[in-house]
Amino acid sequence: MSLTLSSAHVHTTFCDGKTPAPDMAKTAAGLGFVSLGFSSHAPQDFDPGYCIPPDREEEYKAQIRALRQQYEGRMTIYLGIERDHFSCASPADYDYFLSAVHYFLKPDGHHTPIDGRPEDLQSYVNDYCGGDGLQMARQYFAMLRDDVLEMKPHIIAHFDLVRKNNAVLHLIDEESPAYRRAALDALRPLRETNALLEVNTGAIARKKLSTPYPAPFLLEAWREWGGEVIVNSDCHDAQYLDCAFDEAEELLRSLGYAHAVRLGKAEKWERYSLL
Ligand SMILES: [Zn+2]
Ligand SMILES: [Zn+2]
């Protein structure tokens, strides 16, 4: 049994998830969760299959608020969104939001998904980065850094998302000092925003990676800078709602974290012990 008993990064059939919101809440209650935060992909004006359709945003809010009432006293349900850098939606109406970068914007106005088909990312690297994966990673980190500094989210989602397709394409040497420096330099200024750095197990559930985002060297630096972390499953399918939480908690302990932060039952954000 893991200690986290919550996930603030959960998708449903309102966006690209497989599980309807009521079924996800039922699974969370069955696992003894203290809280559950829904975080559908915020509306955007491209790649419509991926996000909440703009004309269903109010329905999304209403359904999550109804679930909050239904589970009151048992498990606290929060209304959040995962807001992509290129989203047109405002996070103002939500209990919390995650900032994420899932796309590169090409000069022709189209977007290339970063964690979509490997061949699309490879084409972007060939066409716009001179074939250099490190240059692509630098572009990605700079976009995420600027987005977090501007939007000031509660949570920084999957900080090193480029690792997903790198596991297939091998565009970047993730052990190289140059890559590590690029990632650390982008992460360092985000500490001052007091955002939570997400330990995201979603790629483990989807069998794309064997370890969470972000890599241990980033989590280690974040702790040295006094940063706080939140363990999330980025769940798209209820059967993986707490997937690999034990491993994530063990990793955090091994890096010297004594506690993490989660959505609380009473308070919005609460610390819980990892020891
Ligand atoms: Zn995401
Ligand atoms: Zn997500």
pLDDT string in tens for the chain (275-residue length)? 799 999 999 999 999 999 999 999 999 999 999 999 999 999 999 998 899 999 999 999 999 999 999 999 999 999 999 999 999 899 999 999 999 999 999 999 999 999 999 999 999 999 999 999 999 999 999 999 999 999 999 999 999 999 999 999 999 999 999 999 999 999 999 999 999 999 999 999 889 999 999 999 999 999 999 999 999 999 999 999 999 999 999 999 999 999 999 999 999 999 999 99
How many CB atoms within 10 Å of residue 173? Answer: 13
Q: Please, are residues 91 and 151 in contact by the beta-carbon 8 Å criterion? A: yes
- Return the bridge partners of 79, or none: 38
Q: Please, are residues 271 and 261 in contact by the beta-carbon 8 Å criterion? A: yes
Overall size of the chain counted in residues: 275
Distance 83 CA to ligand 1 centre (A): 8
Q: Please state, in angstroms and rounded to a whole number, the distance separating the CA atoms of residues 237 and 225.
A: 34
Distance 220 CA to ligand 1 centre (A): 22
- Collapse the DSSP code of 229 into the 3-class scheme (helix H, G, I; strand E, B; otherwise coil) and give the result: strand
Q: Please state, in angstroms and rounded to a whole number, the distance separating the CA atoms of residues 248 and 4.
A: 10
Ligand that lies nearest to the alpha carbon of residue 99, given by its number in the listed order: 1
pTM for this model (two decimals)? 0.97
Ligand that lies nearest to the alpha carbon of residue 11, given by its number in the listed order: 2
Q: Please, are residues 239 and 51 in contact by the beta-carbon 8 Å criterion? A: no
Ligand that lies nearest to the alpha carbon of residue 161, given by its number in the listed order: 1
Ligand that lies nearest to the alpha carbon of residue 233, given by its number in the listed order: 2
